[in-house]
Amino acid sequence: MRLVREAPDHVVSGRFARVMDLSDEGDDVYVGPTSPDRGQRIYGGQLVAQSLGAAQRTVSADRRVHSIHSSFLQSGDAARPVEYRVDRLRDGRSFSQRQVVAIQDGSEVMRSLLSFQVDEEGLEWQPELGAVLAPPTNAVPYTDYDDFTESMLAPDQRPWPGRDRPIDVRCVNPPTAPEGQPITEPQLKWMRVQGPLGDDLALHDAGLAYLSDTGMTATMPLPHGRRWNDEHLGLASLDHAIWFHRRARADEWLHHEQRVETTSQGRALARARFHDVDGHLVATCLQEGLMRRRG
């Protein structure tokens, strides 16, 4: 089935483009701007997106990213820039592979393997969508992700630092059930990067990478009736993978379906799928997170 399309009503902001404005230090080394977040830790989606931006600068324009596999090694300081060192692993006739190491103050915070491919024709198939889904409108805006997240914080912890990220996220079915009640249904959201990104396809791919980390660890404790801000639960991202299936504009609404696949051994695995407003599956994500009891 097809998703319902509505013309965008967004105002130009350019904030995401500034996040991706990496400085070239030479020898395939780039430095990313500091995080717009007001929190202490760098948002994982920013590390993934900036790593992609650094790798994109080392491949020819005819090659588009089709997969990213990132391992988070330690948390980064949101107030300090990150250096990205690119290693050109291979350039073949159709594929190019890169390794990017994200370094802050001399320590690795993330390491990524990225693969790029020349566009080519191929067989097309995807599972049919089970329902018609409408993107946010003025009449049906859904629940603002920032507002909902902030509502879960104690007054002295507000405002939520993630409000400053250059993205627009709306929750279709936010987890409003009382704490202690398991939530196993998929979490549905609509997402887009704020402000038109123009026709730079590489920037749109980076925008999708930036969006892809939104809410992943927060979903992991839901089947246990727990929430991401539970003081007796420790959550942290361990690794993050993205497969890009089809081209998509990150400045237009993308439907995001997220579910927990399993939890065990103090870890949890979450999966997410992105569809555009026409119902095309454009990307799939997997993230494993640490989920430990405290005390």
CA dihedral 261, 264, 265, 268 (to 10 degrees): 30
One-letter amino acid at 56 equals: Q
- What's 15-49 look like in SS3? HHHHHCCCEEEECCEEEECCCCCCCCECCHHHHHH
The residues, any chain, with a CB within 8 Å of residue 39's CB and separated by 6 or more, are: 78, 161, 162
In the set 37, 213, 251, 276, the catalytic residue is 213
User: Could you tell me if 43 and 76 are in contact, meaning their C-beta atoms sit under 8 angstroms apart?
Assistant: no
Instruction: State the pairing for strand pair 167-171/107-118.
Output: unpaired
287 is catalytic: yes
Tokens of 124: 């097309």
* Cα distances (angstroms) measured from residue 115 to each of 87, 160, 232, 242: 12, 34, 39, 11
In the set 237, 239, 258, 276, the catalytic residue is 237
CA nearest 281: which of 248, 242, 237, 240? 248
Terminal-to-terminal C-alpha distance of the chain: 48
**Residue 260 dihedral angles phi and psi, to the nearest 5°:** -90, 125
User: Could you tell me if 49 and 15 are in contact, meaning their C-beta atoms sit under 8 angstroms apart?
Assistant: no
C-alpha span between 237 and 109 (Å, rounded): 12
C-alpha span between 25 and 18 (Å, rounded): 17
- Catalytic residue IDs: 213, 237, 287
